Amino acid sequence: MITHSPSFRLEARRQSRATAQSRFEAADQAWVDSISWWNSDEATVDVKARDDTLASIKDLIGSVDSLPADLSAKKKQYLSRPD
C-alpha cells in the first residue's frame, strides 16, 4: 500500500476522527500510552544515556589542543605515521 495515495490519506483521516469521537477514546489513548516505548523508563534511560554521550563527545572535542586542521580529511595518513 502506498501511504501517499489520496485514498490512504482519506481512510486514515476517517479512522482518526472516528477514534477521537469514540466514547472509548480516553481509555484507548491511556492504553496506547501505557504500552508506548516513549513513555517507558527504558526510553528515559536511553535518552539520558544519549545526552550524556553527546556531552562527553562535545567536552572531548573542546579539550584537545594543537590538532592539525586537516585531521579529519587525512586521518589515515596521520594514523599510519610512526611518530
- pLDDT level of residue 76 (50, 70, 90 thresholds): confident
Per-residue pLDDT at 23: 92
Residue whose C-alpha is closest to residue 33's, from 76, 25, 53: 25
pLDDT digits (tens, 9 = 90+) for 6-36: 888 899 899 989 988 999 989 988 888 887 7
Mean pLDDT of the chain: 79
- Rounded (10°) angle between helices 6-21 and 25-35: 110
pLDDT at 33: 81
